[in-house]
Amino acid sequence: MQAWDGRRLQVDVSGDERGRPVFLLHGTPGSRVGPKPRASVLYRLGVRLICYDRPGYGGSERDPGRTVADAAQDIEAIADQLDIERFAVVGRSGGGPHALAAAALLPERVTGAAVLVGLAPANAHGLDWFQGMTDANVSGYRMASTDRQKLVERLRLRADRARRDPHQLVDDLRSQMTDPDLRVVGDFAIRRLLAQTYSEALRPGPYGWIDDVLALRTQWGFRPEYIRPPVLLWHGADDNFSPASHTRWLAARIPRADVRVQAQTAHFGAMQVLPEMLAWLVDAAAGRARTVPAGSTV
């Protein structure tokens, strides 16, 4: 498919062709082949799931200097080509801010947004952005502001290693995980799925990853306070990749936000709770009372 400016976008559509359209925005790094519910689950939920590679990842052409806000134009272009008028968005980790961009900038088309283990803006007043974050993430995100060339070289080397052996990137992440994440990623099928999405994400090179980090650490191009559609913010309390304090900061500013911070869960718990998030988005689109994951606490 084509982006709003003619760039190539790689898009996968799965699930119920007549179901509620939902865009799933992958993490950082990530790709359209990342973790998602099985087709049978999507049919049961009544969801038509649309996944695409953000620019520079997988099969999508790079868009140098892109901002978080630019994702809204790409999502709208995909929806237009699929003849979809209204849709929901769900973003995981680095995809979370991009889902919020669609909600903020396409309020007449977005029926609801869910953000799982997302991040707050880099200029979030009153938030210690790095507190509780892994040393590797702190170092990388700081480089985005202080030494971009060093960031480019660092991620280029990591991407090169990951292309040769994507399981190595999974192992690097495991060395930084809290116990709840280690339990999730202890499953061989999950590790294989993560390696697959990283391999596809970094197949064309490191620039999707680089551009994501730079976009997340610069002005997003919209303000969370002006988001009009209903929003569900979910976070694992023990997340040390994108700490739960980011979700609490967003929840205090998004007008129609429902927030859930789940105990004894961390970053990769977002994969397990995704079907419940999709059910919430279907209910929101239909105007029904919206449910939230069991066992969650504010």
> Tens digits of per-residue pLDDT, 119-136?
999 999 999 999 999 999
> Tens digits of per-residue pLDDT, 55-83?
999 999 999 999 999 999 999 999 999 99
Q: Omega of the bond prior to 29 within 30 degrees of 0, cis? A: yes
Distance (Å, whole) CA 124 – CA 114: 20
> Tens digits of per-residue pLDDT, 141-176?
999 999 999 999 999 999 999 999 999 999 999 999
Q: Which fold has domain 11-286?
A: Rossmann fold (3.40.50)
The residue extents of the domains of the chain are 11-286
Q: Is the pLDDT reported for residue 36 higher than 90?
A: yes
| pLDDT given at position 279 | 97
State the virtual CA torsion across 172, 176, 182, 185 in degrees, nearest 10.
-30
> Residue 27: how many CA atoms within 13 Å on its side-chain side?
18
Q: In which element (H, E) is residue 144 found?
A: helix 135-146
Q: Is the pLDDT reported for residue 35 higher than 80?
A: yes
Q: Is the pLDDT reported for residue 297 higher than 80?
A: no
Place of tokens 């990853």: 209
The dihedral sign for the CA sequence 287, 288, 292, 293: negative
Distance (Å, whole) CA 275 – CA 252: 25
Q: Is the pLDDT reported for residue 294 higher than 60?
A: no
User: Is residue 250 within 8 Å of residue 132, measured between CB atoms?
Assistant: no
Q: Which of 95, 125, 100 is nearest to 113 (CA)?
A: 100
| pLDDT given at position 258 | 96
Average pLDDT, the chain: 95
> Residue 277: how many CA atoms within 13 Å on its side-chain side?
32
> Cα dist. 115→5, 26, 50, 180 in Å?
27, 11, 16, 19
Q: Which of 229, 238, 246 is nearest to 290 (CA)?
A: 229
Q: pTM score, two decimals? A: 0.96
Q: How confident is the model at residue 290 (pLDDT cuts 50, 70, 90)?
A: low
Percent pLDDT > 70 in the chain is 97
